[in-house]
Amino acid sequence: MKVSVGQFNPGAEVSANLATMGMLAATAAQEGSKLIVFPEEAMFSVGQVKGDFAAAVDAHWTTFVQGLSLICSEIGIAIIAGGYESSGENRPYNTVVALDEAGEILGTYRKLHLYDAFSYQESTRIKPSDRGIAVVEIGGFKVGIMTCYDLRFPELARALALSGAELICVSAAWFKGEHKIDHWETLLKARAIENTCWVVAAGTSSDHCIGHSAILDPMGIAIDFLNDEAEGVATADVTHRRIEEVREFLPVLRNRRFENNTAVVPAG
């Protein structure tokens, strides 16, 4: 199955962001892709929303999901993309939604690990999830979902792999900073290598985010990637065969000695 990442810089207007995603999805479909993964904040960037953020989420989440569904059904491609979902409180969820090629919702993932690091406090605006991991099926592949800062927590990727994920899709808005590109690339490789699965990572390109979207095979090799382009699509052919051959000579999932007792700890 061919998969793509769509890299762009979301603004404040949901309609404009959907138009950009539609264009990138059409490019991916022309390249033969059955799935395109978009960044965190593809709905809109929290830093660009004017007025009450929670009210904007309440007003636009449904519109965003419906717009993605229309893109899927018109182009015939599955989409994974990040947005903000109402929690019924003043802090929305940071949510990734997965839709199939007909536009039907396959599942959603609410970000578990909020970015309270590097002098940033995502938890002041966003409510953390307490419902655990998400794995959906697209094109005959089990697809696990992660969001940005989640990438720094190997237990989440391992839980996805042990739940059958063959692709781990990461939607991110990875902030720029000293060594941050090195961290991003190293962590993407590590999550692929330690779980012997494909990693498909879409990054936001903006003045404060690095972009650098990439598709890595189960040996951590970047098959296709972008740098800091404002907009672009990277595409690769992901196969079960590559997973099987890597797991034959690198059977880390079979060789592990720890049980998977991962449970979600309530946020403080």
Task: Point out the residues that are catalytic.
Answer: 40, 111, 148
Residue with tokens 């419906």: 66
CB proximity list for 185: less than 8 A, separation 6 or greater: 212, 214
Tokens describing residue 104: 């039907």
R_g of the chain computed on alpha carbons? 17
CB proximity list for 114: less than 8 A, separation 6 or greater: 94, 122, 123, 126, 128, 149, 267
Of 164, 191, 189, 5, which is closest to residue 80 (Cα–Cα)?
A: 5
Alpha helices in 117-214 (DSSP H): 154-162, 180-195
- The neighbouring-strand residues paired with 226 are none
Return the DSSP state at 148: G
Evaluate whether 6 touches 36 at the Cβ level (below 8 Å). yes
Evaluate whether 149 touches 115 at the Cβ level (below 8 Å). yes
Of 5, 42, 35, 1, which is closest to residue 200 (Cα–Cα)?
A: 5
Per-residue exposure over 138-174, b if at least 16 CB sit within 10 Å of its own CB, e if not:
bbebbbbbbbbbbbebeebbbbbbbeebbbbbbbbbb
